[in-house]
Homo-oligomer: A and B are copies of this chain.
Amino acid sequence: MQRHERLIQILDLFSQEKPNWELEEIHAALGHSKSTLYRYLKTLTDAGLLTTFPGRGYSLGSRFVEFDYLIRVTDPLIRLAGPVLTELAEANACVGLLCRRYSDKVLCVFQHTATTEIHSSYERGKARPIFRGAASQVILAHLSAYQLNRLYTPNAASFRDAGLGDDLAAVRQSLGAIRAAGWHATEGQVTPGVVGIAAPLFDERGDITGSFSLTLPAGNVTAEGIHTLGETVADTAQDISQSLRKDPAS
């Protein structure tokens, strides 16, 4: 294995269940010599990727907090879509979600809650299931043919389970229908009894970059209501994509 990978592998240890690691524990888990391990930990600590206090082991460093801030303030998606999403969520007493595609992931990057009926667990930084839910599927629907092929082959079962089709042809067709509609709604794919209504967001070059969505209790809305909201979400998302084209950064 590459040395660099062994260095970065250390970061993989840190999780919600175990955010703090003693030197000895890392040693036991990864088995480097003490010299090497100290060298690795110093490199990561100097880079701000880890932090340590005497007698308290290692935990994730300030760089993650600082770079998240940097990403947040330089993200035109948040700047442009955030306020509009907040407004729309308030107007419809629901939860608004802004997601971004990161190659093979869909992450929530902004959220606004305007209801107490559902408590969304999708804060900024929380990953979404890639195949399930409107906010993700609307992104899948706009991948290039090549990218979709690549993703489909090792994940055929996930596509089927998410109701997108039993073979690639069927998946292409259902994703094509989502593209044609301009918006997409799912019910209970992520949380039982909860409806998601999403539309795609495109970057300044016209490529899929994320999704704009509302989340609300299934009982609160009729099929017609969903349709009306879908059109609104689609129109709003289209406006945002248009603004992104005029905005310098991506």
Contact = CB atoms under 8 A, between A and B. Distances in A.
Contacts of A71: 19, 59-60, 64-65
Interface in A85-110: 102-103, 105, 107, 109
Contacts of A154: none
A205 to B, nearest CB: 7
Contact of A102 (B8, B61, B107): B61
Given A66-B107, A250-B20, A205 B56 contact: yes
A70 B15 contact: yes
Interface stretch (A119-127, A156-164, A169-177, A231-239): A119-127
A103 B51 CA distance: 7
B70 A68 contact: no
Contact of A65 (B11, B14, B47, B125): B125
Nearest to A4: B43
B207 A66 contact: no
A124 to B, nearest CB: 6
Nearest to A144: B54
A65 B205 contact: no
Given A62-B105, A72-B125, A102-B62, A207 B53 contact: yes
A225 interface: no
Interface string A43-57: 101111101110110
Contacts of A109: 65
Contact of A62 (B69, B72, B107): B107
A62 to B, nearest CB: 4
A70 B4 contact: no
A102 B159 CA distance: 44
B68 A64 contact: yes
Given A70-B14, A74-B16, A124 B4 contact: no
A224 interface: no
